[in-house]
């Protein structure tokens, strides 16, 4: 048996293999220009590409203009967007650690679109802030003072799926290894999935089978449109944390169906659908959901949510609760998280030679800091 900590063993995700089991979770930067990545993204993804994570997920990327959360969200709905992302990816790949994979999260914000950046309040855009008409499963606003969306009709559903397909094709042209369909955090696919936001009486609402239909058709369409060398996966909603909302049992059923349609993995998250939700947040608070989904569906599973230390990440993998660990805020705080995890777990991780003299074995800096 190898002594390599599980966190640093390779992971096959459908047709691609990540060099280790650390993923940078997708994180909106709200700093794009009409969907196009800027110099901010250049530094952000160059840094994360050499972070030691085996997979770096690009932030939620709107498949159409109205599918962005804010005016600052990244999109992949125009040639200009594609060119801007190509520039950033070329730079990030030029400095990435060997084998690092890049993935993209494709997204439609539905009724949570047309909002302000979090640091500007996060509320719905006001009349003088260039708001736009939002869409959803039903004409039901996210909460008080939110825009009332238009319910998509069947033609609108088909057009939305086509927008995902086109963005997926752009992602393939960009050479991305992983395409993730965003199905949680209260955005459009989740709005169809949850009985709280979906009051439809047609084939896309009512029973669980009908509420899953939009997500399943989306998975089928994107899977069919991209070469089999690219992993297509999902980020799934395991709970709405509110009475009458999505349950983990429903998430298990949904994930199993998505797997049948070709989903290579599920990243298990929750919440964001209902402002009244009471989420019990704490270390590894969503790991139990990932564990259940992994055990009951057999899909390659990524756990996320308040996973902070390398030891905590390693323990989740050793216990078999997930196959991969994603971290978000820990990477904002310390974009060399992977290097330090390697040090902590006794792994000799390749660092860029330009920075190698800061390695623990060559420099006692960490130890001196606390003297
Ligand atoms: C700044 C920021 C932006 C985020 N943007 C996204 C996003 O684009 N897509 C997504 O699915 N989750 C997003 N999230 C949620 C994270 O991916 C992650 O699931 C969550 O922060 C919990 O993980 P953590 O405890 O490691 O931060 C974001 C979180 C942060 C902090």
What's the pLDDT score for residue 362? 84
- Does the structure show a pLDDT above 60 at 285? yes
> Considering its fold, how many domains does the chain have in total?
1
Res. 35: pLDDT tops 80: yes
What pLDDT is attached to residue 244? 96
Per-residue pLDDT, 348? 92
Q: Please, which pLDDT band fits residue 361 given cuts at 50, 70 and 90?
A: confident
Distance 28 CA to ligand 1 centre (A): 7
Could you give the CA distance from residue 287 to residue 21 in angstroms, rounded to a whole number?
Answer: 15
Q: How confident is the model at residue 360 (pLDDT cuts 50, 70, 90)?
A: confident
Query: Is 200 a member of any domain?
Result: yes
Percent of the chain with pLDDT over 90: 94
Q: pTM above 0.85?
A: yes
Q: Is 187 a catalytic residue?
A: yes
User: What is the Rg, in whole angstroms, of the alpha carbon atoms belonging to the chain?
Assistant: 20
Is the distance from the beta carbon of residue 304 to the nearest atom of ligand 1 less than 6 Å? yes
pLDDT over threshold 60, residue 365: yes
Q: CATH number, domain at 293?
A: 3.20.20.70
Q: What is the CA(73)–ligand 1 centre distance, in A?
A: 14
Chain segment 158-171, per-residue pLDDT in tens: 999 999 999 999 99
Q: What tokens were used for 318?
A: 């050793």
239 CB under 6 A from ligand 1? no
Terminal Cα-to-Cα distance of the chain (whole angstroms): 39
In a domain, 160, yes or no: yes
Q: Give me the chain's average pLDDT, please.
A: 97
Write down the pLDDT at residue 363.
83
Residue 12, CA distances (Å) to 18, 22, 206, 335 in order = 6, 13, 37, 24
Q: Whose CA is nearest to atom 10 of ligand 1?
A: 26
Contact 269, 237 (CB under 8 A): yes
**Atom number in ligand 1 closest to CA 330:** 26
User: How many angstroms separate the alpha carbon of residue 247 from the centre of ligand 1?
Assistant: 21
Q: Whose CA is nearest to atom 1 of ligand 1?
A: 27
Cβ–ligand 1 contact at 107 (below 6 Å): no
Picking from 110-114, 135-139, 275-279, which range would have the lowest pLDDT averaged per residue?
275-279
Nearest-angstrom CA–CA distance, 2 and 234: 31
Asked if the structure places residue 244 within a domain, the reply is yes
The stretch 278-292 carries a mean pLDDT of 95
Residue 1 belongs to some domain of the structure: no
Distances (CA, A) of 171 to 61, 77, 86, 104, 163: 10, 11, 10, 7, 12
Residue nearest ligand 1's atom 22 by CA: 305
Query: For residue range 141-155, what is the model confidence (pLDDT) as tens digits?
Result: 999 999 999 999 999
CA distances from 109 to 5, 255, 274 (A): 38, 20, 14
Give, using CA atoms, the residue closest to atom 15 of ligand 1: 27
Give pLDDT, residue 353: 92
- Give the per-residue pLDDT at 272: 97
Q: How far apart are CA 51 and CA 219, in angstroms?
A: 30
User: 10 Å Cβ neighbour count for 282?
Assistant: 8
Selected catalytic residue, list 77, 187, 204, 223: 187
> How far is CA 341 from its chain centroid?
22
Which range marks the domain in which residue 331 is found?
6-369
The best mutation among 22, 24, 25 to test binding of ligand 1, ranked by most ligand atoms within 8 Å of the C-beta, falls on 25
Summarize the confidence of residues 255-271 as an average pLDDT. 98
222 or 367, which is more confident?
222
pLDDT > 90? residue 195: yes
Mutate to test the pocket of ligand 1, among 22, 24, 26 (most ligand atoms within 8 A of CB): 26
Distance (Å) from CA 85 to ligand 1 centroid: 20
pLDDT higher than 90, residue 69: yes
Find out whether 259 and 10 touch, Cβ atoms under 8 Å: no
Looking at the CA of residue 182, tell me the nearest atom of ligand 1. 11
**Per-residue pLDDT at 228 exceeds 90:** yes
SS3 102: strand
Residue 187: per-residue pLDDT: 98
pLDDT one-digit tens code per residue, 74-132: 999 999 999 999 999 999 999 999 999 999 999 999 999 999 999 999 999 999 999 99
């Amino acid at each position: 048996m190898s002594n390599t900590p599980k966190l640093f063993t390779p992971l096959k995700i459908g047709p691609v293999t990540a060099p280790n089991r650390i993923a940078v979770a997708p994180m909106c930067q709200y700093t794009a220009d009409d969907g196009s990545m800027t110099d901010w993204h250049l530094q952000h993804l160059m840094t994360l590409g050499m972070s030691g994570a085996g997979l770096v997920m690009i932030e939620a990327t709107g498949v159409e203009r109205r599918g962005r959360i804010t005016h600052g969200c990244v999109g992949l709905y125009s040639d200009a967007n594609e060119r801007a992302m190509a520039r950033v990816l070329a730079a990030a790949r030029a400095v990435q650690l060997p084998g690092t994979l890049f993935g993209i999260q494709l997204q439609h914000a539905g009724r949570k679109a047309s909002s302000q950046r979090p640091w500007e309040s996060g509320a719905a855009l006001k009349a003088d802030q260039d708001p736009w008409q939002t869409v959803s499963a039903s004409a039901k606003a996210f909460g008080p003072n939110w825009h009332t969306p238009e319910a998509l009709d069947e033609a609108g559903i088909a057009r939305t799926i086509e927008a995902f397909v086109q963005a997926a094709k752009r992602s393939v042209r960009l050479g991305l290894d992983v395409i993730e369909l965003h199905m949680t955090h209260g955005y459009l696919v989740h709005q169809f999935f949850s009985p709280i936001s979906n009051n439809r009486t047609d084939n896309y609402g009512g029973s669980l089978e009908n509420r899953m239909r939009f997500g399943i058709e989306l998975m089928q369409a994107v899977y069919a449109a991209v070469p089999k060398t690219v992993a297509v996966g999902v980020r799934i909603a395991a709970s709405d944390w509110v009475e009458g909302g999505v349950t983990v049992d429903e998430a298990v059923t949904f994930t199993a169906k998505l797997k049948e349609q070709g989903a290579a993995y599920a990243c298990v998250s929750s919440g964001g659908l209902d402002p009244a939700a009471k989420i019990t947040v704490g270390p590894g608070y969503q790991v139990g959901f990932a564990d259940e989904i992994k055990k009951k569906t057999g899909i390659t599973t990524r756990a996320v949510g308040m996973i902070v230390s390398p030891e905590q990440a390693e323990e989740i993998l050793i216990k078999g609760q997930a196959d991969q660990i994603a971290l978000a805020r820990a990477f904002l705080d310390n974009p060399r998280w992977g290097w330090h995890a390697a040090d902590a777990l006794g792994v000799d991780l390749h660092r860029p030679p330009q920075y190698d003299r800061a390695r623990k074995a060559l420099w006692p800096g960490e130890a001196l800091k606390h003297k």
